[in-house]
Chains A and B, each alone.
Chain A
Amino acid sequence: MIRLEAVTKSFASKRGAAPALHGIDLSVGRGEIYGIIGASGAGKSTLVRLINLLERPSSGEVVIDGARVTDAKGTALSDLRRSIGMVFQHFNLLSGRTVAKNVAYPLELAGRLSRAEITAKVAALLERVGLADHAQKYPRELSGGQKQRVGIARALANDPKVLLCDEATSALDPQTTGQVLDLLQEINRELGVTIVMITHEMEVIRRACDRVAVLEKGRVVEEGPVTTVFLHPAHPVTRALVREAEGDNAVPATQATGQLLRLTLTGATAHQPILGRIARDFGSDFAILGGRVGHIRTTPYAQFAVALSGGNGGAAVAALRASGVTVELIGGGPTVAEHGAERGAEHGGERERHLHVV
Chain B
Amino acid sequence: MAQSVAQNMAANAKGISMWFDRINWADIGTALGQTLTMVGISLSLTILIGLPLGILLFVTGKGQPFARPIGYGALSFVLNIIRSVPFIILLIVLMPVTVLITGTSLGIRGVIFPLVVGTSPFFARLVETALREVDRGVIEASLAMGASPAQTIFRAVLPEALPGLIAAVTVTAIVLVDYTAMSGAIGGGGLGDLAIRYGYHRFQTEIMLICVVVLILLVQLIQASGNSLVTRFTRR
Contact = CB atoms under 8 A, between A and B. Distances in A.
A355 B129 CA distance: 58
Interface stretch (A88-96, A116-124, A202-210): A88-96
Contact of B144 (A86, A108, A140, A157): A86
B146 A110 contact: yes
Contact of A105 (B145, B162, B233): B145
Interface string B116-158: 0000000000000000000101101111111110010001100
Contacts of A93: 138, 141
Interface string B159-177: 1101000000000000000
A81 B140 contact: no
Contacts of B201: none
Contacts of A96: 159-160, 162, 233, 235
Interface in B180-236: 233, 235-236
Interface residues of A, number: 31
Contacts of B159: 94, 96-97
Contacts of A105: 142, 145, 155-156
Given A109-B151, A139-B235, A140-B235, A94 B156 contact: yes
Q: Which of B145, B146, B155 has the most CB of A within 10 A?
A: B145
Given A54-B140, A88-B137, A92-B138, A109 B145 contact: yes
A92 B140 contact: yes
B236 A95 contact: yes
B34 to A, nearest CB: 37
Contact of A109 (B140, B155, B160, B233): B155
B1 to A, nearest CB: 62
A92 B162 contact: no
Contacts of A149: none
A136 to B, nearest CB: 12
A86 B147 CA distance: 13
A248 interface: no
A81 B137 contact: no
Contacts, number: 69
User: What bracket does the count of chain B residues touching chain A fall in?
Assistant: 20 to 34
A173 to B, nearest CB: 20
A159 B233 CA distance: 32
Contacts of B162: 96
Contacts of A82: 145-146
Nearest to B144: A86
Given A92-B138, A140-B236, A158 B156 contact: no
A237 B147 CA distance: 38
Nearest to A97: B159
Contacts of A342: none
A154 interface: yes
A81 B145 contact: yes
Contacts of B145: 81-82, 85-86, 105-106, 109, 154-155, 157-158
A78 B155 contact: no
The 9 closest A-B pairs by CB, nearest first: A92-B141, A92-B137, A81-B146, A82-B146, A106-B145, A78-B146, A86-B144, A95-B236, A138-B235
Given A79-B146, A86-B144, A94-B160, 10 more contacts: A54-B143, A81-B145, A96-B162, A105-B145, A105-B156, A106-B146, A109-B146, A157-B145, A158-B145, A158-B146
Interface of A: 52, 54, 77-82, 84-86, 88, 90, 92-97, 105-106, 108-110, 138-140, 154-155, 157-158
Interface of B: 135, 137-138, 140-148, 151, 155-156, 159-160, 162, 233, 235-236
7 contacts: A78-B146, A80-B146, A90-B137, A109-B147, A109-B151, A155-B145, A158-B146
